[in-house]
Structures are given as C-alpha cells and as structure tokens.
Chains A and B, each alone.
Chain A
C-alpha cells in the first residue's frame, strides 16, 4: 500500500503540512475558516506532528503499520486494520477515550482531541482525490506518498 514517508533531511519545519491537514479535515475546506473558527470552536486538530531538535525537524503522522500497536491496544474496537486497503482505520463513534492507543503507539502518531474524549489520527485523507493533503502541500518534498 501507499504510505506517507517523511524525510528529516528535507523538512524545514514550516508546519504547512499541519495546516493542509487541518483544512482537508475541516467542514469548510477553507484554511482561514478551519484555522480561525473550526480549530477554536470545535477543536479541529491536525493529524501531523512536527518534531524539532536543534536545526533538525520532521513531520510525522500514522504509519499505518502492518501490525499496529494501537489496534492491539484498543479496548473498544474503534481502531482496526482494514484487510482490503491495509489502512489502520478509526471509528470515532466507537472510541471511548481510554487513551490506550496513545500509550501503545511508539510513533507518537495519536493525539487527544482537545475537546472530546476522542483521538485524532491520520486517515491518509481518505476519499481525497489528490491523495494526502500534507504531501501535496509540502514545499520541500519532505513528505512523499508512495509504495515501498
């Protein structure tokens, strides 16, 4: 399956991937509304996370592991592996906010929703024709979406 691969040698830590992610997962599909309104009023959050260490940086998100720790840890069945697409899929309705996945995922790819007892996790922009928005928006090709 195709996955998003981050390259820390190219990443400049601009956080544009986060904004693209935010917009892609917003109702308005508009960056300004997503950032100024949906983010504050509804807790809309990006699935990306940018790490920095000195001059180094990298933007990571769910790796859609073959054998994901989050799925093993999920007590409610909200996280599971879709055998057809290979994606690690999340059903918010089933999530009870126990944070087991957040603890179990050693890639730091799961975060708490700021307002609800739910998690936020990359869905590879499911249904978005151009593929993951973060990859499309990255100005330095530090993110690629490909089969490896």
Chain B
C-alpha cells in the first residue's frame, strides 16, 4: 500500500498519525510545495514578531518522519492528478503512483480587485516565505497598511508593529474580527491594539493603491477619501480553498472539495482534509469549509485512518479560535453570533470593561452552542465540553455556567462515569 499525501501542513501530520494507527508498514510519501518540514502556520506571526526563532517552527521532531516511515518530497509542486492511472505528476517531472491519495492542499490567500494592486510592495501573510520577506523588509520599512481586520490581519499588524513599523489596519466591516467574534470582544481587542499604537480603520477599505513613476507604492486611497502614506501593503482578507488539483481531474468540488463522512472524495481512492475540504460541521450537521486549525488536524487524522482501512466517521468540526492581542487572550468557540430574530437562541453576557474581561454564552434549546471569552479564559475547556458533548443544561447548571463556574460535576452522572471512570459500572 502506498499512501501519497499532497500538502505538508497540519492536515498531513494528522493523516500520517492516523495512517500509522491502522497500518504500521504501508509506504507514505508527502509532497509539499514549500521547502521546509511541516511547521505551525499560525507561528509565522510569532516569528515575524521575533518571539520565536526559525528553529522552533517544526510541528514534529526531526526523527518523526523517519520513525513514521514517511518519505518527503519537499519543494515539489503537484501539477496534475490522474485518478484513472492513480498517479500524480510533479513539477520535477516525476510521476508518483499511489494506492490512496490525500488532498491536503489547504487554502490560498484571497486577493481583492484593487486598482494598483499589481506590482511590488504588496504582500500576503499566510506562509513562511511571506513572513521571511516581511522580516527582512521590516528593517527599513517605516509604515505598513494591513488590509483585513480578521485574525491573520491583526496578527500581521501586531507583529510588524513589534518590529518598529507604524501600522494601520483597514477593515471593511463596521468592526474588526466580525467573523470569529462578537461586538464586545472585538471592541476589547480593538482597544488593546489602539492602546498599543496601531491605527484601526473600520468601515473602510482600499479604493486604490497609488504608485510613483518607478512603480513603488506611495500610499493607499481609502473608500472614505482618506489617503494613507505607506510603502507596503499586506493583504490579509482571508483564504479560499486551494482545490484546483481536484477540480481539474474531475473530483467533485463545491465551496471546497466535497467529502463524505469518512473524508473520501467522489473518487473512492482519494481523500481530502483541512482547509481545502468541505466537511461536516458538528453543530449544524451540514458540510462546509471551516478553515480552523483543529479541524484540519482532526480531518487529516480521520482521513488517514480511513485511507488505511478503518471506517470511522468524522465527528464534525467545531469552529474555535484562541488568540491574544498584546497579552489580552481571546477565545471563541461554536456559534457566537446567533441570528438575532431567532427566539430559540438565548445569550448570557458579562462585560467588565475595566478588567478587560468578557464572557458570552450562547444557548440553543437547552444546550450551550458557543461562547466567547476575553481576559479570563481559564474555564474555557469546561465550556467547550458542554458545546462539544452537547450536554444538557438544566437550571442549576445554567446558573453555574453563566456565573463562570463550569465543572465536570455538572455533567450527567452516567456521562461523567463513562468518561472518568470507564469500565466500573
């Protein structure tokens, strides 16, 4: 059995570990376009900020690949998949035969249509190369504008600022972090960034990038008429599934690569996982692209086991983000912005602006379906349990959750015993 994994991110790490749970011997080959061993993609902001060195990026120790019996083909791009012949063709002229294939090609940065975008001075911030380019530029860069006030944009801004660059953030929505967080949490994060000295412009975006006669960027004209002088623009609007390989060989794609409950694509020998896959969502039950780190690992792990002969359904992804802004920790899990008109949802929120602390719980029909925490995050996992395991929330439990005292003793007895004391009943 030869397993070939295209893509060398966290989904592939999950897949390797999943395959080895089932099959100790089958050959595994990982083909990765980037030239480095799998690294923690979110770590590039820590690298750009100078908080960690390049030696701390690897997700697994050096001996991992050897011990797991994995052959790496790095710096290699797959040009084409031939599902009939069960081969992939690379830019090195190789044809690699597979028995089972995993497509874990992740996402690629989304680039909006802005006049003047083409040309030097415009950068993304989603991979190690981007980070290294920005690190070298930061030495001479005076100002930068980050387009996009989502998680990637804010971390890019913070990291550049840490390198002594004057930074402005542009966000088209009325507030930053509109996807992952609610208004109060976004407000606290926004204030923390502004207190540090970063300019945050909401409700606006770049109308035009102005360049001088040499082609160098002079600045950005905003939709509200303001002109921001800058030599560097970082585009961080988001990523879209990088699914061309699948689409071009006839594998079914929708928003992402369509997979069944075992992470198998429309081709029975081909699986998909991670930011490229459109897989089950735990809370809604439908299939969607949820580009979340944890989901990528779990999907890879599930795909890996199933590629190696198991038949285990993917339990479904749960959107979750944990990120700090200048030491202010924030978390969001599950549904955090419920439809306002829906009476089945109830929200309990506690905001303490002085302490920079916020807790929002979202209940739906007697269950906790999501939460936001800012500042005091220590009980997070205990809230996650209620969301993930869909535990019932009766009166006393609800009171405890709302007052910030979740705990395992609020779990139903039987579930508690199965979890903590299995095999004793």
Contacts and interface: CB of A to CB of B under 8 A. Distances in A.
A99 B58 contact: no
A102 B384 CA distance: 10
A26 B403 CA distance: 34
B378 A106 contact: no
A80 B416 contact: no
B243 interface: no
Given A6-B421, A57-B409, A105 B298 contact: no
Contacts of A107: 381, 385, 408, 419
A148 B422 CA distance: 8
B51 A105 contact: no
Nearest to A73: B294
A63 B422 CA distance: 12
Contact of B324 (A60, A98, A110, A148): A98
A58 B60 contact: no
A7 B67 CA distance: 38
Given A7-B421, A103-B377, A148-B422, A53 B298 contact: no
A64 to B, nearest CB: 13
B211 interface: no
A72 B298 contact: yes
B52 interface: yes
A8 interface: yes
Given A72-B14, A106-B389, A107-B381, A98 B408 contact: no
Contacts of B385: 106-108
A102 B407 contact: no
Nearest to B295: A72
Contact of B384 (A83, A94, A104): A104
A15 interface: no
B301 A104 contact: no
Interface string A56-68: 1110100100010
Interface residues of B, number: 49
Contact of A53 (B43, B52, B333, B409): B409
A104 B408 contact: no
A77 interface: yes
A126 B2 CA distance: 36
Nearest to B20: A83
Contacts of A140: none
Interface residues of A, number: 43
A108 B381 CA distance: 5
Given A57-B409, A60-B420, A105 B60 contact: no
Given A75-B42, A75-B43, A77-B40, A104 B320 contact: yes
Interface in B30-57: 40-43, 46, 51-52, 56
A5 interface: yes
B380 interface: yes
Interface string A28-50: 00000000000000000000000
B138 interface: no
Contacts of A53: 407, 409-410
A98 to B, nearest CB: 6
B56 A103 contact: no
B59 interface: yes
Interface of B: 14, 17, 20, 40-43, 46, 51-52, 56, 58-61, 67, 293-294, 297-298, 301, 320, 322-324, 329, 331, 333, 377-382, 384-385, 388-389, 407-410, 416, 419-424
Given A53-B407, A76-B43, 8 more contacts: A51-B407, A60-B420, A83-B67, A96-B52, A102-B377, A104-B320, A106-B389, A108-B379
